[in-house]
């Protein structure tokens, strides 16, 4: 858990954390609980380094290559 919280901080993760802090502060200042909860959720997701693609499930699967190259025959259409 300590490794997740302290490593892999890049500029997008820092930006997400700054946006979360601003959202929570503005939610408290404007007495808007929805904005505060959304900022809190974004902050937790950022701390745990989670996002929309949980576990890389949004990745495009790689195509398997067979042992033989495929030769396609094409006809010329006039």
Give the pLDDT mean for 21-49.
Answer: 94
Q: 43 CB contacts (<8 Å, ≥6 apart)?
A: 17, 20, 21, 24
Whether 27 maps to a domain, the answer reads: yes
pLDDT computed for residue 65 by the predictor: 64
pTM of the full structure: 0.63
Whether 31 maps to a domain, the answer reads: yes
pLDDT computed for residue 63 by the predictor: 65
List the structure tokens of 8. 């892999």
User: Where in the sequence is the domain holding 22, given as residue range(s)?
Assistant: 9-49
Whether 66 maps to a domain, the answer reads: no
Number of domains composing the chain: 1
Q: What is the mean pLDDT of the chain?
A: 82
Q: Is the pLDDT of residue 56 over 60?
A: no
């Amino acid at each position: 858990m300590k490794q997740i919280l302290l490593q892999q901080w890049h500029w997008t993760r820092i930006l997400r954390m700054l946006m979360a802090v601003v959202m929570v502060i503005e939610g408290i200042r404007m007495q808007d609980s929805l904005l505060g909860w959304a900022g809190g959720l974004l902050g937790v997701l950022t701390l745990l380094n989670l996002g929309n693609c949980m576990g890389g499930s949004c990745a495009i699967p790689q195509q398997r290559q067979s042992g033989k190259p495929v030769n396609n025959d094409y006809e010329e259409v006039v």
